[in-house]
Amino acid sequence: MAKNIASISGFPEWLPAERLVELQVLDTLRETFELHGFSSLETRAVEPVSQLLRKGETSKEIYLLSRLQDSNLDIDRQMSKGKRLGLHFDLTVPFARFVNENAGHLVFPFKRYQIQKVWRGERPQDGRFREFIQADIDVVGQGELAFHHEVELALVMGEALSKLGLPAVTIRVNNRKIVQGICEGAGIEQVEDALRCLDKLDKIGADQVREELESVGIRAEQADVLLKMAQISGSKSESIVSAVTALGYQSELLDEGLAELRAMLEEGERRAPGLLVADLKIARGLDYYTGTVYESFIEGHEDLGSICSGGRYDNLIGDGKKKYPGVGLSIGVSRVLSRIMAANLLVPSRPVPTVVYVAVNDEEHRGESNAIAAALRARGISTDVADKAAKFGKQIKAADRRGIPFVWFPGDVDEVKDIRSGEQVVADCHTWEPPQQDLKVQVLAPPLDVEG
């Protein structure tokens, strides 16, 4: 990442070679989502503050918008009239608003993907920024939404992540109905409090979670049940069902949640073995989730936390008359990129998209070099022209410093040189083709160092 004395923490700026990695990641996500029938959507960057605070994320630090000329009185009036604007902190809240406003123009179930920047006024740290890119996919129904979409989203996201060239990614899944069913059976009325506490298990540990559970009125023996449930994990559906059943509680909601989790794991094992793992401590702290919940981790980089999270929501979107149940997953793209860059997980084959650097014999003949460049570009070959008509050796060095693999020498008979191998051949700008692997920048995992 570029660093300078004017940098502002939490607002990442990538160097050109890093930007190539970012673009490759974004293109891969976009192409995969479209391959599965998701339509692209972009919403405005601002929402009314009242809208941003409406659905449970009140703890997020929202960046407010104001004109430099606004007085404190103007700002107070805007707040009192509900007209104060803030930058969106995620893509779910604006998407919910968009569906409500445009339901009459949408065909349900509506499948959308959205890749945009969002802003959060939180403390920057490893993998967490104040300005960052998110990539969301959601499926929303009108009145109802079939469970199979909850399975579909996990598999689509798993496919997208696998195409990035990262180490293996595991999506851990749970079902809110299981947690709520256990709470019903154990006589726990503070269900939302229990979910929020369990969501902190990985961060603060079981002892502190127990204290927090008891602080909201959950008895010690009830807290023990929740913590036992939270220890249940694995990829085999039968063992998960058996472990939950062994807790000794029954309810219709619990049975429904177990059936859905079983179906999720079995379908995942058929279509993407090793991708899905049940983890009953996954709760997701937001109160609008009602079914399957997801969190995703990169193998060997679990310290980064979940890179992709979401879940089923039945009551988030609605206009008072109609409900639009949905399921969604969100990737913290900048979060993933920060680790890719820091750990050198992916690197570009060269630092620029340029394939050919056309030399200039002298300034009087620059037009000939420009014509060659135009012919190559017309055939989809990224080309630049030398800045100065220096000696050819200096022009070759200029191309090498930029990482451009080929230098073109105009003449009575044109020649092109691969400056990596030194091979130089006669070429025609209307027919010459670079090797396929050089036509576009390749973003791949770096080769392993092999000791002799």
| DSSP alpha helix (H) spans, 200-311 | 201-215, 220-230, 237-245, 252-271
Beta strands in 28-184 (DSSP E): 39-40, 46-48, 85-87, 110-119, 131-140, 169-175
DSSP-derived 3-state class of residue 352: coil
Q: Is 202 annotated as a binding residue?
A: no
Bridge-based pairing state of the strands 85-87 and 46-48: antiparallel
First vs last C-alpha separation in the chain: 33
Q: How many Å apart are CA 177 and CA 289, to the nearest integer?
A: 10
Q: Is 362 annotated as a binding residue?
A: no
Amino acid identity at 25: V
Q: Is 289 annotated as a binding residue?
A: yes
Q: Is 32 annotated as a binding residue?
A: no
Residue 349 structure tokens: 């084959």
The DSSP annotation for 81-110 comes to TT--EEE-SSSHHHHHHHHHHHGGG--SSE
Residue 12 structure tokens: 């990442």
Q: Which of 149, 178, 162, 201 is nearest to 310 (CA)?
A: 149
Q: How many Å apart are CA 138 and CA 337, to the nearest integer?
A: 22
Beta strands in 273-381 (DSSP E): 276-279, 289-298, 308-313, 326-332, 347-348, 356-358
Amino acid identity at 46: V
DSSP state for residue 38 in the 8-state scheme: P
Neighbour tally for 170: CB within 10 Å: 19
Q: Is 91 annotated as a binding residue?
A: yes
Residue 238 structure tokens: 């039968």
Q: Which residues contact 398 (CB under 8 A, 6 or more apart)?
A: 357, 386, 387, 390
Q: Is 314 annotated as a binding residue?
A: no
Q: Is 112 annotated as a binding residue?
A: no
The structure tokens 């009140």 sit at: 58
Q: Which residues contact 24 (CB under 8 A, 6 or more apart)?
A: 346, 348, 441, 443
Q: Which residues contact 429 (CB under 8 A, 6 or more apart)?
A: 372, 375, 376, 408, 414
Task: Mark the binding-site residues, compressed into ranges.
Answer: 90-92, 120, 134, 138, 284, 288-289
Task: Mark the binding-site residues for L-histidine, compressed into ranges.
Answer: 90-92, 120, 134, 138, 284, 288-289
